[in-house]
Structure 1
Amino acid sequence: MAIPINIEDLLSKQKVESNRIEFKAGWNPSSIYHSICAFANDIDNLGGGYILVGVEEENGVAVRPVKGLEDNQLDKIQREMLQFNTMMDPIYYPRISVEEIDERKILVIWVTSGHNRPYTVPADVTAKLKKPVFYIRYGTSSIEAKGEDLDRLRDMANRVPYDDRGNENIDIDDISPLLVKNHLASVGSKLAKADFTSDMGKILEQMELLDGPKEKRLVKNVAAMMFAERPEKFFPVSRVEIVVFPEGRENNPDNFIEIPAITGPVPMMIRDTLNYLRTNIIKERVIKPANNEKSIKVYNYPFQSLEEAVVNAL
């Protein structure tokens, strides 16, 4: 997988903070997996980091020309990584990319913030006795998390809900400028007056609908749920299914009507679902008391309750 930044910028520590980059002259799996675990835990929410294997360093600066790795080394490292990745708990798969620089090959390990933080990895992935350890970044080093840092790390578990996570399968072009503009106009936002043809990325940024490091911004799941014309492309079961039992489910469970699935962006699904319920499900009965000129209207279901249930569910 190609890395989202120019390799020269990584080597010179441009556009990415230096504490998010590590140079490794050779393949030292235990040390490298300490850093993979630390970057995946991303305790300071910096966006993960990069490990460049085959690059020597001197006082934090990459030595040029790079040392590089042989082809047989690259193959061996990638095979071993498949095994070591499963030793992390939960299992974590960093992205890897072979890059050519200074007429030599290096391996770039791109570690993004993990969605299932916190992670552990054995202190020595090659040892028979594997003790799981939590690692975090402290400056430019990967250290074992202890005390308050460990408590803080554990507190991150399940803290980022699915809809608020970045999704690398969603592009900004998948988001409908019209749907975003209509939403912003409906809530009275000044952003509705922005130029949606050229400023879409900036608009999504201001709406806090992007995630990830600055060199690789990801569109959050919620953006596609709300503003993609076909969110089912990313979320196959994002739909509403309605089943009607004309005689009641308990009275006659075999007699039912299945309504075609309602799909689309969440606001559209809410609207279409409520329109169907209002038109086809809610029935009104008018009672005229004998001693009162005012009629009494009774409904089989209160619309407000259905509305709250549908909106909360979606």
Structure 2
Amino acid sequence: MALPINIEDLLNKRKVESNRIEFKASWNPDKIYHTICAFATDLENTGGGYILIGVEEENGIAKRPVKGIKESEIDQILKDMVGYDAKISPAYLCKVSPEEIDGRTILVIWAPAGINRSYSVMESVVTKKSIPKFYVRSKSSTIEAKGEILDEVRELANRVPFDERGNDSISIDDISGIRVYEYLKAIGSKLMDDFGHRSLSETLDEMDLLVGPVENRQIKNVAAMMFCDHPERFFPVTQVDIVHFPEGSIENPDIMIEVPKITGPVPKMINETLSYLRTNVIKQLGCSV
């Protein structure tokens, strides 16, 4: 897996806030998974973070050359992480990348903010009997969430509406530039004037349809709902079902007309639904709109 940022920028804490980077001289699964959980929960909405294993630090600065990790250790770590990942709830998978630096190999764990926050992890991922706990970042450290902080962490799930959450399953290629342009034209947005002179990503950013740090911008769910030709790929059963009872659902419920399901982006579904109602329902009732 390729990292979204240059490894030297991480080691030198450039382009990424220092509290989003943690150096570990060696593999310590319990502490590392506490930090993964804290980055995934992302209480401060900074965009998650990175853990560099095989890197010693001194006064917050990475010591060079890096300490590194043996190849045999990396293979075992990757195998162990398959089981440890299952101890995070709800389900969450961090991204792992071995990186060559200073002639040695280090392991970089990238833990972006999760889309189902908040997350807990077993206090000890290496033992069979343990209890789940919540963890957060406090400045450049990982701490257990307790008291008011724990209450705030538990409220995260209710804080961000589903349509406003970033979704790493959606790529820019899934968004129809034509639909975005037609929407901007319909509402008379000034963004339409520069539409052909900027990238689609820049336009979506201006529309507040991207979320996350600069190195890992995610498209919000609402963007796919509005501008993806087939949003049902990401949101199953995204459709409008219409059942018409010509003689009334109470008077004669056995006679009904099932209209073919209406699918597509939200504006298309709304327009087609209203069109059907105007043509096949309202006119039959002798009404006008």
TM-score, structure 1 normalization: 0.83
Greater mean alpha carbon deviation, residues 32-41 or residues 247-256: 247-256
Aligned counterparts of 1:123 and 1:169: Cα–Cα separation in 2: 29
Q: Which residue of 1 aligns with 2:266?
A: 266
Assess, with a 3 A threshold, how the Cα gap between structure 1 residues 196 and 236 changes in structure 2: closer, same or farther. Answer: farther
Unmatched runs of 5 consecutive residues or more in structure 2: none
Deviations along 1:225-253, one digit per CA (max 9) or x if unpaired, are 11123323433422222233444456665
Which structure has the greater CA radius of gyration? Answer: 1
Superposition pairs for residues 129-144 of structure 1, below 5 Å? 129-144=129-144
The structural deviation recorded for 1:219 is 1.0
Aligned counterparts of 1:221 and 1:34: Cα–Cα separation in 2: 28
Greater mean alpha carbon deviation, residues 267-276 or residues 150-159: 150-159
SS in 1 for 2:116: coil
Q: Which residue of 2 aligns with 1:193?
A: 193
Q: In the alignment, is residue 116 of structure 1 matched against residue 116 of structure 2? A: yes
Aligned counterparts of 1:32 and 1:184: Cα–Cα separation in 2: 45
Deviations along 1:101-126, one digit per CA (max 9) or x if unpaired, are 23322221111112222222233322
SS in 2 for 1:92: coil
Residues 23, 62 of structure 2: 8 Å contact kept: yes
Deviations along 1:109-154, one digit per CA (max 9) or x if unpaired, are 1111122222222333224541322211011100112233222222
Q: In the alignment, is residue 80 of structure 1 matched against residue 80 of structure 2? A: yes
Aligned counterparts of 1:131 and 1:16: Cα–Cα separation in 2: 32
Assess, with a 3 A threshold, how the Cα gap between structure 1 residues 229 and 12 changes in structure 2: closer, same or farther. Answer: same
Assess, with a 3 A threshold, how the Cα gap between structure 1 residues 17 and 254 changes in structure 2: closer, same or farther. Answer: same
TM-score, structure 2 normalization: 0.90
Assess, with a 3 A threshold, how the Cα gap between structure 1 residues 261 and 196 changes in structure 2: closer, same or farther. Answer: farther
Q: Which residue of 2 aligns with 1:94?
A: 94
The structural deviation recorded for 1:278 is 0.9
Deviations along 1:196-239, one digit per CA (max 9) or x if unpaired, are 35242222112110011111111111111111233234334222
Q: Which residue of 1 aligns with 2:67?
A: 67
The structural deviation recorded for 1:190 is 2.0
Assess, with a 3 A threshold, how the Cα gap between structure 1 residues 71 and 254 changes in structure 2: closer, same or farther. Answer: farther
Aligned counterparts of 1:152 and 1:196: Cα–Cα separation in 2: 43
Greater mean alpha carbon deviation, residues 54-63 or residues 186-195: 186-195
Greater mean alpha carbon deviation, residues 184-193 or residues 27-36: 184-193
Residues 176, 227 of structure 1: 8 Å contact kept: yes
Aligned counterparts of 1:6 and 1:284: Cα–Cα separation in 2: 64
Aligned counterparts of 1:261 and 1:115: Cα–Cα separation in 2: 29
Residues 176, 229 of structure 1: 8 Å contact kept: yes
Q: Which residue of 1 aligns with 2:156?
A: 156
- Letter in structure 1 aligned against 2:66: V
Aligned counterparts of 1:239 and 1:122: Cα–Cα separation in 2: 39
RMSD: 2.3
Q: Which residue of 2 aligns with 1:31?
A: 31
Assess, with a 3 A threshold, how the Cα gap between structure 1 residues 126 and 230 changes in structure 2: closer, same or farther. Answer: closer
State the structure with bigger RCO (CA 8 A, min sep 6), 1 or 2.
2
Residues 117, 158 of structure 1: 8 Å contact kept: no
Q: Which residue of 1 aligns with 2:47?
A: 47
Aligned counterparts of 2:37 and 2:235: Cα–Cα separation in 1: 29
Greater mean alpha carbon deviation, residues 62-71 or residues 21-30: 62-71
Greater mean alpha carbon deviation, residues 256-265 or residues 219-228: 256-265
Assess, with a 3 A threshold, how the Cα gap between structure 1 residues 231 and 117 changes in structure 2: closer, same or farther. Answer: closer
- Letter in structure 2 aligned against 1:180: V
Aligned counterparts of 2:23 and 2:196: Cα–Cα separation in 1: 41
User: Percent sequence identity over matched residues?
Assistant: 57
- Letter in structure 1 aligned against 2:13: K
SS in 2 for 1:226: helix
- Letter in structure 2 aligned against 1:122: M
The structural deviation recorded for 1:16 is 0.8
Q: Which residue of 2 aligns with 1:22?
A: 22
Residues 181, 195 of structure 2: 8 Å contact kept: no
Assess, with a 3 A threshold, how the Cα gap between structure 1 residues 210 and 81 changes in structure 2: closer, same or farther. Answer: same
Q: Which residue of 2 aligns with 1:306?
A: none
